[in-house]
Structures are given as C-alpha cells and as structure tokens.
Amino acid sequence: MNHNQHKKRELDFREPWSIFKVMSDFVKGFDELQDIGPCVTFFGSARLDEKNKYYDMAKELGFKMADNGFNVVTGGSRGIMEAANKGAFENHKTKSIGLNIDLPFEQESNKYLDIDLKFDYFFSRKVMLVKYSHAFIIFPGGYGTLDELFEALTLIQTKKIYPIGIFLIGTEYWNPMMEFIEKSMLGESTISKEDFDLIHCTDNLDEVVSLTFEKLKNKVNLMEDKNLENINSYDVLKNFVEVYDTKK
C-alpha cells in the first residue's frame, strides 16, 4: 500500500469516530445548561473594544437583562461578547455564560464568565446558543454575526423553534440592511410581511427587556392553549413572567 492509500484509509477509519466528539459536545452543553433557566443570547463583533459605543450598550443591556432574571449567553470571546458578559457578571443576579469554539488559532475566553464551555464544532455550539434562549440580541458584527442572525430567522420562519425576540441594536448600523430586506426581499416577495416583522431594530434597551418578556408571555399562553402545562419548562416560565409583572 503506497503512502497516499495509507493516508486515505487512515482518514476513512477515523471519520466515523468523529461522531463521538459531536456527542461529547452535545452532552457537555445539555449537562451544563439544562437547568439554567431563561436565557438571552448576545451576538456581535469581537473587534469592537471598550472605546466603541456599542460595547457600552452591550454591557448596559447585559446588566439590565441579568437584573431582570435572565442568564446572559454569548460566544464567550472578546468585543460585544465580553461586554454583555461583563454587564451580567457585574450584576451577580444570574449567570454569565460563554460558549466558545476551539479553533486552530487560539480564541481566548473573556474573564467575565460564570460558565465557560468550549466546543469542537460550530453546529453543536449553535444548537446550545439557540436552545435555551428567549431572545437573540444582535449588535453590529461581521459575517459570523450575520450567520447567526439569519439562521435564527430561518428557524423561526420554518417553525423549528418558537418565535423569540430578534433584536438588532444599533439603528445606524443596521438600517441599510433593513432597507435592503424591505425593498428587495419583501419587495420581490422572497419573504412575507410576517417574516420581515420578526426583526425589531432599536436603540432603546429598556424596550428590548420589555418585549422579551412579552414574547415569554406569549409562549406561556401558547403552552396553555396546547395543554402543555406538564412540560418541565412551563412552571419555570410561568413563575418567571409573574415575578416580572409584580415588579412593574
């Protein structure tokens, strides 16, 4: 057997075993997060530092979300992710969670994490970023941020997940994209008006908090309409929104 045949056979042999690494990713995520309670997930550029206004906004919103009982989940790295984690971490009322990815070049976790998980695969990490989240909060970012945004929209559009809040923070940054979506995609009927209305673009951080709770209330009502009160998450969510209502 020549060298190339040997390498091919070695790769063929090793490929099926990668399923165990995939399983390990999911077991790690489910085991650590299954009882974590309501979460919101922040996305945004790792390149925006403390001098950037969006860093400050992400930190403030992370604090507000934690102050209202939400765990804050990010990709665990720098920039917007660090800012949101920092706000939650300094609040101390809930958990600041980072779901990072092992890459050929080192991607360090930020230092404001109560829970720091590393994943081998992007797709298993994405499942964890979505599964326990009741809002996607999207700050200015690049390709990775857009990938997360449109994947979340696709999951809601195709009814693979319950409609959660999709918030774009930074109207100045996002308005050109919103105009394209409205004029080109909606204009050419490649999406519906209902699809377009899934996105809420704002700079009002308190509005994001209140609308996230409205989405949660809608989910609780839907669970009751479908007689799903026996599901474990029902009691947690029901109590959660009742506590919020008593605070208002």
Average pLDDT of the chain? 90
* Single-letter amino acid, residue 238: K
Q: State which H helix or E strand residue 143 sits in.
A: helix 143-157
- Of residues 231 and 10, more confidence is placed in 231
What pLDDT band is residue 7 in, cutting at 50, 70 and 90? Answer: very low
**pLDDT digits over 86-102, tens only?**
999 999 999 999 999 87
- Locus of tokens 């200015």: 140
When pLDDT is cut at 50, 70 and 90, the band that residue 104 belongs to is low
- Collapsing DSSP to helix, strand or coil, 43 comes out as strand
Is residue 6 exposed (0-12), middle (13-18) or buried (19+ Cβ within 10 Å)?
Answer: exposed
**What's the confidence (pLDDT) of residue 31?**
84
Q: Which residues pair with 125 in a beta bridge?
A: none
For residue 151, what pLDDT band results from cuts at 50, 70 and 90? very high
Is 217's pLDDT higher than 90?
yes
* CB-based contacts of 150, cutoff 8 Å, min separation 6: none
24 pLDDT band, cuts 50/70/90, is: confident
How many angstroms separate the Cα of 136 from the Cα of each of 40, 73, 146, 206?
Answer: 6, 10, 12, 15
pLDDT of 108 reads: 83
Average pLDDT on 118-142 reads 91
Tens digits of residue pLDDT in 45-66? 999 999 999 999 999 999 999 9
DSSP letter (8 states) at residue 108: P
Reported confidence tier of residue 6, pLDDT bands at 50, 70, 90: very low
pLDDT in tens, 178-196: 999 999 999 999 999 999 9
CATH of 23-206, one of 3.20.19.10, 3.40.50.450, 3.40.50.170, 3.40.50.1980: 3.40.50.450
Domain regions of the chain by residue span: 23-206
Q: What is the pLDDT of residue 106?
A: 53
